[in-house]
């Protein structure tokens, strides 16, 4: 089961490799502190390799979307049917303004989120410092929305999943012996001009990257297995997820990126899938 959201850096294609990095099904709780589109969670839920699941994200608007799809998919489908179709490009900024004005809960909010995700530039989600979505209209020839069967399928998988709006520290603090955690944070930029940390109004910079690694190791000491993704750079491997702290670099896959406005810049890049824990002692 793939996500219904287009998501920059989404893990639908890498989900099998990430799942393999855990080596075993989750016997405890499976936690994702950077829920995003939920690609890995949906993959594992569909295959039955997890039981209790907690999806968390600092972006409360995103969590409200998942809640609405889980709890009122009929309402979301109805509201989605009321949004622009043939004249979607001309009315994009009207819908974006309505989304930013709120409220940011319920089926109408969820429908606008989905619509803007499919109508905006390359599935990007970006907020300014006021917490407003500021993604421009996409360049597609037509608007393609998720179909009813897809949304109902995701809704079914999310039944019983705990959804939280909190930062990664609070989410990972739940992890203990037998639990599994997958972390897909905003990535370390590959260059000084490639930085993307505005997924929410709070940036995710070097201090947050290191804090995440420390928090992941603390969970591993408590008996959890933690898997993390990031760009495959010497800095990431040696300073953020270093071997001497117990991290293992399980995979280094090549992944296509499609955020850049320039087609020539959309080249495959290397990522690293790291793992840590459980740590005895």
**φ, ψ of residue 264 in degrees (nearest 5):** -65, -25
Domain containing 238: what range? 15-58+166-193+202-276
Predicted pLDDT of residue 280: 81
- Domain match, 32 and 127 both: no
Q: pLDDT tens digit string along 29-65?
A: 999 999 999 999 999 999 999 999 999 999 999 999 9
Which residues have CB under 8 Å from 110's CB, separation 6+?
64, 65, 68, 69, 76, 79
61: tokens are 């608007």
In DSSP terms, which residues pair with 226 in a beta bridge?
181, 276
Report the alpha-carbon distance of residue 195 to residue 206 in Å, rounded: 11
Task: State the DSSP H helix or E strand holding residue 218, giving kind and residue range, or none if neither.
Answer: helix 206-221
Q: Which of 98, 128, 155 is the last residue of a domain?
A: 155
CA-based end-to-end distance of the chain:
38
CATH classification of the domain holding 96 = 1.10.1020.10
Tally of domains in the chain: 2
Residue 3 lies in a domain: no
Together in a domain, 45 and 118: no
Segment 163-180, tens digit of pLDDT: 999 999 999 999 999 999
Same-domain pairing of 185 and 246? yes
């Amino acid at each position: 089961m793939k996500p219904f959201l287009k998501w920059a850096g989404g893990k639908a294609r890498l989900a099998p490799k990430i799942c393999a990095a855990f080596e075993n099904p989750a016997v405890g709780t499976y936690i994702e502190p950077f829920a995003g589109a939920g690609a890995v969670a949906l993959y594992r839920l569909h295959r039955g390799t997890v039981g209790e699941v907690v999806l968390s994200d600092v972006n409360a608007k995103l969590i409200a979307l998942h809640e609405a799809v889980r709890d009122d998919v009929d309402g979301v489908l109805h509201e989605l049917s009321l949004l622009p179709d043939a004249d979607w490009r001309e009315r994009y900024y009207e819908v974006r303004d309505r989304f930013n004005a709120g409220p940011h809960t319920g089926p109408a909010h969820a429908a606008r989120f989905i619509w803007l995700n499919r109508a905006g530039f390359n599935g990007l989600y970006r907020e300014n410092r006021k917490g407003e979505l500021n993604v421009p209209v996409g360049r597609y020839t037509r608007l393609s929305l998720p179909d009813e069967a897809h949304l109902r399928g995701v809704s079914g998988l999310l039944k019983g999943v705990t959804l939280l709006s909190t930062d990664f520290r609070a989410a990972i603090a739940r992890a203990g012996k037998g639990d599994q955690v997958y972390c897909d944070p905003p990535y370390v930029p590959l260059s000084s001009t490639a930085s993307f940390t505005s997924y929410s109004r709070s940036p995710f910079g070097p201090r947050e990257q290191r804090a995440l690694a420390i928090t992941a190791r603390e969970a591993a000491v408590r008996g959890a297995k933690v898997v993390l993704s990031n760009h495959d750079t010497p800095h990431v491997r040696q300073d953020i997820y270093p071997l001497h702290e117990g991290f293992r670099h399980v995979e280094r896959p090549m992944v296509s990126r499609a955020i850049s406005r320039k087609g020539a810049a959309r080249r495959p890049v290397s990522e690293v899938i790291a793992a840590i824990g459980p740590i005895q002692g």
